[in-house]
Structure 1
Amino acid sequence: MTSKDERLAFLEEMKDVRRIRKPNRAEVSTPRELTPGHLERQKAAVEKPVRDLNPLTSDMVEPLTAHDVLSWMRPGIQHGVFRKLRLGQYPIEARLDLHRMTVEEARREVFAFINDCVRYGLRSVIILHGKGERNPDGIAQLKSYLAKWLPELDSVLAFHSAQKHHGGTGAVYVMVRKSDRDKQNNRELHGRR
């Protein structure tokens, strides 16, 4: 058979074929009636509120201004260690920038950031919260909340407003507690002499 004969044979076989006029798409309309499973899941979602594991409060806080200095340490922190933190003499191992975040976004980010620092063994970090100088009332909102939140986290040992070259009163150095794994490693390293 030649190619001309093949073509004619093909056309003969295809003479009754008609073009499909419907679009080549699956119908994905949602069913109109809800199944018992749908109703049960809806009921469970409404009755059982999602539990927020974040301990940071979102209540009102004492308002701070752009130039207020943040300074806090847990009892038992050595003064020399706190002085070194205050002077920015520890290497900054991570940073979190809260600029342009809402209070709720910042609340979630701070909680996750400090937990990540503990998990990865980061001890000296910085959080950039801004000074709030553009606010017409002069209140540094995120800074005010951060001053309340950091002591609420057991993993935070101390914090102090940063040195000028790291953001001054628009940023805060944070000293983070060692993870249990790092504490155990220290005991094993130094405890068996």
Structure 2
Amino acid sequence: MTTKDERLSFLEEMSDVRRIKRPNRADVQASRSMTPGHLERQRAAVDEAPKDRNPLTGDNVDPLKSHDVLAYQRPGIQHGVYRKLRLGQYQIDARLDLHRMTVDQARLEVFSFINECVTHGVRTALILHGKGERNPDGIAQLKSYLAKWLPELDAVMAFHSAQKHHGGTGAVYVMLRKGEKDKQRNRERHGFK
């Protein structure tokens, strides 16, 4: 507790102190004027279209029908390995469903999906593209584009239309290259350097 003398002493010491008229706060309002750097970044954002890093093309696609079989194998893929892929004997580690997507949406999804599969060490994937049986012209549009896109991706080693229980000619098995981790693991397991 403070005594009466201490309180009087305090008030006497504070007698010449005046209240600050402006609030004692920093002015944090952002400057409304645009700097040359702001203007340049704004102009660049409007002028430059975002770069599309997706190499998949849509030019000169051969139209495929609903029951056409997709088949592709890079040189160097062993026949026994390709046969197991074709028969659906590899474990499917990832799936992508393209049903009800536009060609542009599917293009983006396929590119992203394959890259993610490689990143996560997926070796065999299944892509459901549909048969296109409802199309009046009988052309399986997404299937046609997929047949063009998959060989354009370096990570795709082989692909083949799926077995009936996985979607038949409305789906495709995709075999992907090994990632660096898997290659190193095989080297260590088999004693290679």
Aligned-residue CA RMSD in angstroms? 2.0
Shift of 1:97: 0.3
Post-superposition offset of 1:36: 5.0
CA shift, 1:192, in A, is: 5.4
Query: Are the aligned partners of 1:67 and 1:131 in contact in 2 as well (CA < 8 Å)?
Result: yes
CA distance in 2, matches of 1:184, 1:38: 48
Amino acid at match of 1:165: H
Please list the CA deviations of residues 138-184 of structure 1 after superposition, one character each: whole Å capped at 9, or x if unmatched: 11110000000000000000000001111000000000100012111
Q: Number of aligned pairs?
A: 163
Instruction: Please state how far the C-alpha of 1:112 moved relative to its aligned partner.
Output: 1.0
Partners of 1:158 and 1:176 in 2: CA distance? 7
Structure 1 position 132, deviation (Å): 0.6
Distance, in Å, in 1 between the alignment partners of 2:63 and 2:177 is 27
Instruction: Point out where structure 2 has 5 or more consecutive residues left out of the alignment.
Output: 1-31
Q: Report what 2:136 is aligned to.
A: 136
Q: 4+ residue stretches of structure 1 with deviation over 4 A?
A: 32-38
Structure 2: distance between partners of 1:182 and 1:120: 10
Match in the other structure for 2:150? 150
CA distance in 2, matches of 1:137, 1:192: 54
- Would you say the 8 A contact 1:127–1:173 is kept in 2? yes
Report percent identity of matched pairs: 75
Report the CA distance between 1:109 and its aligned residue.
0.8
Unaligned runs of 5+ in 1: 1-31
Query: What is the Cα deviation at residue 38 of structure 1?
Result: 5.0
Contact 1:56 1:111 in 2 (8 A): yes
- Which protein shows a greater Rg? 2
Deviations 1:4-52 (A, max 9, x none): xxxxxxxxxxxxxxxxxxxxxxxxxxxx997755532331023322111
- The aligned counterpart of 2:98 is 98
The separation in 2 between residues aligned to 1:158 and 1:45, in whole angstroms, is 40
Deviation at 1:58, TM superposition (A): 2.6
Match of 2:116 in 1: 116
Q: Show the counterpart of 2:160.
A: 160
